[in-house]
Chain A
């Protein structure tokens, strides 16, 4: 089944409330995915300060920050925040440099998110318990999403948890299942793409990242995904400045979008949107099959 929520704030006055709004929304989709939950937030300056890169890591050894600092030029200050299965490292360096240092320092660790504005948390467990572990209610920022998972395609572990964040400041969450992901995985692998999990949704995320790297905008990347992938999907994809929703042509997997002058929200079910400020004045609709909906910051 799986549940998705996403919130793109247009009104800066709401930025301090992002975590509280996301936490309330998460309650509305917890039953859809009690296995695990992942969260991505954009613009939380405490968790990812301006001028810094943040990298989210699974299986991080305890001394990772010290080792990583030693590998970076000028040994900058590297901070760590541990939240359940996820450890977030930040440093005033480029994203690629921090990822490379983490990979060199801890070959057994797995990078599950990175960016200059983004912080990702992933873990197995009940969504509401993990929301407390992640400190979700305290999050601030301009955009966020969460995914509650009911596993179908691969194991219940933090690696199989969404979002898949495989490019800087990019995230993809998926409700559904891709049926030809193994074929596409092989094609991408031949082009040199490396995968972290057996999960079908990761293939979607790698495909979108490859399209964006080729210069496609979010809409074109998702239209290309629709031409290439078979299966059922509702996808929410976010970037450093974008927020996009798409469903497959049969559209069995639910999605509700609410658009308000102060925010745009998307969820698997209306009840996740019911407590948003001004929901009664919002334009509420279900996305049409095969149509890509995008919003830019």
Chain B
């Protein structure tokens, strides 16, 4: 797991002040200018000022660089991320870290809908809560949410792990394939074909590792595991007569 733990994130943050950090102020620069630099980086560390909810900040990075966004990000922040370590010191809009391939994205505030959607790898940490459809169609990404997630989270989740330290809304894991879901608090109505599953030793171990990487100190024993009942995997031929 290419995870950046909280202590490592903090260490990198303090390193921002020792290594050469390039500051880009979105009060004067455009997001296109910012992203052009991040796509062909001339430094290893960046600080983005005055994001003011702008869209697509740091989307499409494919180098191992650090990016600190000082404020609230809009839609698709750090989308398609590869290798980079992105921290948002605020909240993030729709689709933060959507389709992330690797690296880490840490949101210190809340995230809007579809956080980590279709993500294939890497670690997304949301220290606050995430809105609806968190981890929709996740394909291998790990997502750890410090607060709660909204309804319809992990919809059609295919692979990866979703950890929710708070509560999960209705429709959790609807039409799920093989992702593993861990929830510490309450769960609303489970989605179609999503069931509670036994928490075995290997699950407690991987959950402990995910919590450590994300910087949360909850006891893995406080979580329950959910996953696919595998009842929707195959088209059932006897149903064909009903159409």
Give 1 or 0 for each of A260-293: 1 = CB within 8 Å of chain B CB: 0000000001111111000000001110110000
List 6 extra interface pairs beyond A272-B53, A284-B110, A288-B150, CB under 8 A.
Answer: A28-B53, A251-B113, A270-B112, A271-B74, A275-B52, A286-B113
Write the chain B residue with the least CB distance to A249.
B151
Which A residues are closer than 8 A to B by beta carbons? Answer: 28, 251, 254, 256, 269-275, 284-286, 288-289
Tell me which of A28, A273, A289 contacts B132 (CB under 8 A): A289
Interface check B131, CB cutoff 8 A:
yes
Q: Give Cα A251 to B113, complex, Å.
A: 10
Report the Cα distance A254→B72, complex, angstroms.
Answer: 16
Chain B 68-100 interface 0/1 with A at a Cβ cutoff of 8 Å (1 = within):
000010110000000000000001011000000
Closest chain-B Cβ to A10's Cβ sits at a distance in Å of: 23
Q: Say which residue of B91, B94, B150, B151 sits within 8 Å of A254 (CB atoms).
A: B94
Contacts of A288 in B (CB 8 A): 150-151
**Contact at A270–B53, with CB atoms within 8 Å?**
yes
B93's partner among A251, A269, A285 (CB-CB below 8 A) is A269
Given contacts A251-B132, A254-B94, A286-B131, contact A271 B112 (CB under 8 A): no
Residues of B within 8 A of A272 (CB): 53
Of A270, A274, A275, chain B has the most CB atoms within 10 Å of the CB of A270
The answer to whether A286 and B53 touch across the interface, beta carbons within 8 angstroms, is no
14 contacts between A and B (CB under 8 A): A251-B132, A254-B94, A256-B112, A271-B52, A271-B53, A271-B54, A271-B55, A271-B74, A274-B52, A284-B91, A284-B110, A286-B150, A288-B150, A289-B151
A279 nearest CB neighbor, chain B only: B72
Residues of chain A lying within 8 A (CB to CB) of residue B151: 251, 288-289
**Smallest CB–CB gap between A4 and chain B, Å?**
15
- Classify the interface of chain B: helix, strand, loop or mixed: loop
Residues of A within 8 A of B74 (CB): 269-271
Q: How far is the CB of B133 from chain A (nearest CB, A)?
A: 9
Residues on A with C-beta less than 8 A from B53 are: 28, 269-274
Within 8 A of A (CB), among B108-131: 110, 112-113, 131
Q: How large is the interface on B (under 10, 10 to 19, 20 to 34, 35 or more residues)?
A: 10 to 19
Q: Which 10 A-B pairs have the closest CB atoms?
A: A271-B53, A270-B53, A274-B52, A286-B131, A274-B53, A271-B74, A270-B72, A270-B93, A271-B52, A251-B132
Known contacts A270-B74, A270-B91, A270-B93; A254 and B54 CB within 8 A of each other: no
Inter-subunit contact A254/B52 (CB<8 Å): no
Q: Which single residue of chain A is at the shortest CB-CB distance from B170?
A: A289
A251–B94 CA distance with the chains assembled, in angstroms: 13
A residues less than 8 Å from B91 (CB atoms): 270, 284
Q: Which of A272, A284, A285, A289 has the most CB of B within 10 A?
A: A289
Query: Using Cβ atoms and an 8 Å threshold, which residues of chain B touch A251?
Result: 113, 132, 151
Residue of A273, A275, A286 touching B112 (CB-CB under 8 A)? A286
Cβ < 8 Å to A, chain B residues 141-158: 150-151
Residue of B whose beta carbon sits closest to that of A250: B152
Q: Give Cα A49 to B24, complex, Å.
A: 48
How far, in whole Å, are A284 and B109 apart by their CA atoms in the complex? 11
CB of A286 to closest CB in B, whole Å: 5
User: Smallest Cβ distance from A283 to chain B, in angstroms?
Assistant: 11
| Cβ–Cβ < 8 Å partners of A273 in chain B | 53
Within 8 Å CB of A285, what residues of B?
110
Chain B residues with Cβ below 8 Å from A254 are 94, 112-113
Q: Kindly list chain A residues whose C-beta atoms are within 8 Å of the C-beta of B54.
A: 271
- A28–B53 Cα distance when bound, in Å, is 9
Return B154 CB to nearest CB of chain A, in Å: 16
CA distance A233 to B205 in the complex (A): 43
Chain B positions within 8 Å of A270 at CB level: 53, 72, 74, 91, 93, 112
Q: How far is the CA of A270 from the CA of B54 in the complex (A)?
A: 9
How many whole Å from A5's CB to the nearest CB in chain B?
Answer: 13
Across-interface contacts of B113 in A (CB, < 8 A) = 251, 254, 286
A272: nearest chain-B partner, CB-CB: B53
- Find the B residue at minimum CB distance from A274: B52
Expressed in whole angstroms, the minimum distance between the Cβ of B241 and any Cβ of chain A is 29
Complexed CA–CA distance, A289 and B132 (Å): 9
Q: Per-residue 0/1 for B41-60: is the Cβ within 8 Å of any A Cβ (1 yes, 0 no)?
A: 00000000000111100000
Q: In the complex, how many angstroms separate the beta carbon of A183 from the nearest chain B beta carbon?
A: 26
Nearest CB of chain A from residue B169's CB, rounded to whole Å: 8
CA distance A285 to B75 in the complex (A): 15
Q: Residues 4-44 of chain B: 1 if any A CB is under 8 Å from the residue's CB, otherwise 0?
A: 00000000000000000000000000000000000000000
CB distance from A237 to the nearest CB of B (A): 22
Minimum CB–CB distance from A272 to chain B (whole Å) comes to: 8
Give complex CA distance A254, B151 in Å: 14
CB nearest to A275 among chain B residues: B52
